[in-house]
Amino acid sequence: MGIVSPLGIGWDKFFDNLCAGKSGISRIEAFDVSTYPSKIAGQVKDFDPCQYLDKKEARRLPRFIQFAVAASKLAVADAKFDISSDPDRVGVIIGSGIGGIDFLEEQSSVLREKGVSKLSPFTVPYMICDMASGFTSILLGAKGPNSCVVTACATGTNAIGDSFKIIQRGAADVMLAGGTEAAICPIGVGSFCAARALSTSYNDAPEKASRPFDAGRDGFVIGEGSGVVVLEELEHANARGAKIYGEIIGYGMSGDANHITAPAPGGEGAVRAIMAALRDADVSGDHIDYINAHGTSTQLNDKFETMALKHVFGDQAHKLSISSNKSMIGHLLGAAGAVEFVATILTIINGIIPPTINYENKDPECDLDYTPNQSRKKNVNIALSESFGFGGHNAVVIAKKFEG
């Protein structure tokens, strides 16, 4: 597993800070936000791309690719896996919701101010989302299935689920899977402000802004980073003596067919994705011990996600442990599902459920156990991680404790 996040680089530091309830949200430093309604973000601090790329690449590549390469290298090193041993059987799916939006913004300014002759020849490859997968496969020599998922905020979860299915059907033995995002730039933040999607009430107290399921929530906080996992077929992993953190057992997805940004009323699309994942895993709702919620801190998502969980799990919903990592790292958009999947696996391994911080005011429509403000010890055997994206994309992955 590899993590680049607002709470640290590397999954150990990331999870320690999650369990401590530490916030990674702060005032935006990359550009002037004095005129922006929302002035805060979950920013990756102390990131040096030269630790993962040569100086020329580090200087030239857009941030979302830098993050993807860093997370991938961390994951491969953690897996102690030599890709060159059988590169044709190693694939990559690293998605991004927005891709090189910062690079496109920069080159748009060059075009306006200096003319077409001054545009970078890398404008197209560095703005398209698939280059995170493409460049990572080139750099690491992975020659198997190579693709890119772009399903907004469901991207990371879809990338992991799709990679799971690729291995399951025998098209690869190993997949590098995850998501990456670096949209904290003027057009990125400004566009979400224009959509009235971001929190605006806590600019002077950034650490309080992301408050999933709390009655005072007023929008999500944009974040950045990357999460990548090495998925491996069981016999292949055992043959090389790999350390196995957990097992994926189910994957479900659905489309709302409702609205370009608003979730389907009552979480109807989420219900179908969760049910599909449970069927794929061949487990009932009673077997789920923990849910890593999408939990964006927006009015409709948190309300409808709660309704969806009640619909699927019935009375069991009130017994489930639930939490939202976004309360501490913000919403990493296309990287969110992958980073949260790593947190889910770490929850299973450690038996510690990270909290949902800033849960201070009860919302009668959000009345489940969201693990408010303090982490909690609990034996977790099977956990579910869910992501829902603009466009009506819903993705759910179910993982369990490995008992091999």
Q: How far is CA 23 from CA 44, 90, 340, in A?
A: 12, 36, 15
Tally of CB atoms within 10 A around 299: 15
Rounded CA gap, 202 and 217, in Å? 10
Which residues have a Cβ under 8 Å from the Cβ of 124 and sit 6 or more positions away? Answer: none
* Structure token digits, residue 179: 């998501």
Q: Catalytic one among 153, 185, 193, 366?
A: 153
C-alpha atoms less than 13 angstroms from C-alpha of 211 in its C-beta half-sphere: 21
Place of tokens 């401590």: 20
Which pLDDT score is estimated for 355?
98
Q: How far is CA 278 from CA 243, 274, 281, in A?
A: 26, 6, 5
Rounded CA gap, 127 and 188, in Å? 13
Rounded CA gap, 196 and 215, in Å? 18
Q: Catalytic one among 129, 294, 366, 393?
A: 294
Concerning whether 148 is annotated as a catalytic residue, the answer is no
* Structure token digits, residue 95: 């998605």
Complete domains list, the chain, with CATH: 2-239 (3.40.47.10), 247-400 (3.40.47.10)
pLDDT tens string 130-143: 999 999 999 999 99
C-alpha atoms less than 13 angstroms from C-alpha of 120 in its C-beta half-sphere: 17
Q: Taking a C-beta distance cutoff of 8 angstroms, is the pair 22, 207 a contact?
A: no
Rounded CA gap, 332 and 376, in Å? 24
DSSP state, residue 393: E
Q: Taking a C-beta distance cutoff of 8 angstroms, is the pair 42, 6 a contact?
A: yes
pLDDT in tens, the chain (404 residues): 999 999 999 999 999 999 999 999 999 999 999 999 999 999 999 999 999 999 999 999 999 999 999 999 999 999 999 999 999 999 999 999 999 999 999 999 999 999 999 999 999 999 999 999 999 999 999 999 999 999 999 999 999 999 999 999 999 999 999 999 999 999 999 999 999 999 999 999 999 999 999 999 999 999 999 999 999 999 999 999 999 999 999 999 999 999 998 999 999 999 999 999 999 999 999 999 999 999 999 999 999 999 999 999 999 999 999 999 999 999 999 999 999 999 999 999 999 999 999 999 999 999 999 999 999 999 999 999 999 999 999 999 999 999 98
Rounded CA gap, 371 and 215, in Å? 15
Rounded CA gap, 208 and 204, in Å? 9
Concerning whether 318 is annotated as a catalytic residue, the answer is no
CA 5 to chain centre: 10
C-alpha atoms less than 13 angstroms from C-alpha of 265 in its C-beta half-sphere: 0
Which pLDDT score is estimated for 404?
81
Q: Catalytic one among 129, 331, 366, 393?
A: 331
Q: How far apart are the first and last CA of the chain?
A: 19
Q: Identify residue 141 by its one-letter amino acid code.
A: G
Rounded CA gap, 34 and 12, in Å? 35
Rounded CA gap, 156 and 174, in Å? 17
Q: Identify residue 324 by its one-letter amino acid code.
A: S
Place of tokens 């890593």: 292
Rounded CA gap, 179 and 154, in Å? 9
